[in-house]
C-alpha cells in the first residue's frame, strides 16, 4: 500500500492518546489522511498532534479532548474536522474502550457499569452519529454518488467478542454486543454505499492490560507461551488496508492474531 493512498480522506480516531488508537492515527496520516484524534488526556493528545504534524506545512491532525462516550464530545469531534479540514469526516474509527480482568463470577462488579457505558453505549452513540452525518452527505437520487467518495466506519472489537474467554468474560460480553451492533449497522448502511468494518485483534501489548487489571505475571505467561504478541501498529495496518480499498470493495471483518495464538 503506497503513500498517499488515503489522500483527501478525513478521519476521526477515538482513544488515540496511546496504544492501538495512536498507532491507527499515525498510520492513516502516513498514507495521506488527515485526522481528528480524541482521548481524555490533554497532554498526551497534544503530543500526538505535534508528532503527526511534524515536518508538515499544513495540519494533518486536530484534537478533540473528552470522554468518547459523551454526546457533546462526539459532536465536538465532527466540529473539529469541519473547522480544521473544511469537510465532514468520511472515515471514523471507533476504538475507545477499556478492559476488565475476570469473569462474571470473579470480576469487580463495581466496574461493570463503566465497562458497558464505555464499550457499548459509547460505541453505539458514535456509530449512530457517524451514520446519520454520513447519510446526510449522500445526495438523494444519486444512485452512484457513493462510488466517488468512500465512507468507512471501522469498529475495533476483540477476539474475545467472537470466542468466549473465561478469564475476561465480562469484557468479552461487551465486545459480543459491539460485534452484533456492528453487523446490524453494516446491513443497514451497505445499500447506501457506507462500509462498516469490524476488526478483531487477539493479544496486543499496550496500556490496555494495566488498565484492565490483568496481573503482570499472568500476561507474561501468555507472552511466553504464544509470543511475540501483536503490537498496536499491526492492528493499525489492518485499518488502513480496509479503508484504502476502492469504494465498491468492502472488507467487512478481519481477525488479527499473533501467529502462535491458538485460543481464544
Ordered domains of the chain (ranges, CATH): 10-138+145-256 (3.40.50.720)
Task: Identify which of 195, 202, 209, 191 has the alpha carbon closest to the alpha carbon of residue 262.
Answer: 202
Determine if the pTM surpasses 0.85.
yes
Q: Give pLDDT, residue 142.
A: 77
Cell of 188: 443497514
Catalytic residue among 171, 176, 203, 214: 171
Distance CA 83, CA 90 (A): 15
3-state secondary structure of 138: coil
Q: Is 171 a catalytic residue?
A: yes
Q: Give pLDDT, residue 88.
A: 97
Condensed to tens digits (0 to 9), the pLDDT of residues 10-25 reads: 999 999 999 999 999 9
Condensed to tens digits (0 to 9), the pLDDT of residues 158-201 reads: 999 999 988 899 999 999 999 999 999 999 999 999 999 999 99
Average pLDDT score over residue span 121-133? 98
3-state secondary structure of 25: helix
Amino acid at each position: 500500500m503506497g503513500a498517499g493512498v488515503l489522500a483527501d480522506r478525513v478521519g476521526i480516531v477515538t482513544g488515540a492518546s496511546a496504544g492501538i488508537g495512536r498507532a491507527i492515527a499515525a498510520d492513516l496520516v502516513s498514507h495521506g489522511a488527515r485526522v481528528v484524534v480524541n482521548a481524555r488526556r490533554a497532554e498526551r493528545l497534544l503530543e500526538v498532534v505535534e508528532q503527526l504534524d511534524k515536518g508538515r506545512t499544513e495540519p494533518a491532525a486536530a484534537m478533540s479532548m473528552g470522554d468518547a462516550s459523551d454526546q457533546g464530545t462526539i459532536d465536538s469531534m465532527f466540529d473539529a474536522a469541519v473547522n480544521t479540514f473544511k469537510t465532514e469526516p468520511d472515515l471514523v474509527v471507533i476504538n475507545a474502550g477499556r478492559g476488565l480482568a475476570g469473569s462474571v463470577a470473579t470480576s469487580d462488579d463495581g466496574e461493570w457499569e463503566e465497562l458497558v457505558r464505555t464499550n457499548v453505549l459509547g460505541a453505539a452513540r458514535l456509530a449512530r452519529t457517524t451514520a446519520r452525518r454520513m447519510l446526510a452527505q449522500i445526495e438523494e437520487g444519486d444512485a452512484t454518488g457513493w462510488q466517488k467518495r468512500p465512507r468507512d466506519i471501522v469498529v475495533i472489537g476483540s477476539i474475545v467478542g467472537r470466542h468466549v474467554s473465561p478469564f475476561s468474560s465480562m469484557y468479552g460480553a461487551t465486545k459480543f454486543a459491539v460485534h452484533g451492533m456492528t453487523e446490524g449497522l453494516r446491513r443497514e448502511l451497505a445499500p447506501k454505499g457506507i462500509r462498516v468494518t469490524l476488526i478483531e485483534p487477539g493479544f496486543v501489548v499496550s496500556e490496555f492490560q494495566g488498565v484492565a487489571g490483568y496481573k503482570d505475571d499472568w500476561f507474561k505467561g501468555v507472552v511466553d507461551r504464544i509470543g511475540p504478541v501483536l503490537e498496536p501498529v499491526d492492528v493499525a495496518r489492518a485499518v488502513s488496508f480496509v479503508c484504502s480499498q476502492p469504494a465498491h470493495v468492502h472488507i467487512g471483518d478481519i481477525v488479527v492474531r499473533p501467529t502462535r495464538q491458538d485460543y481464544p
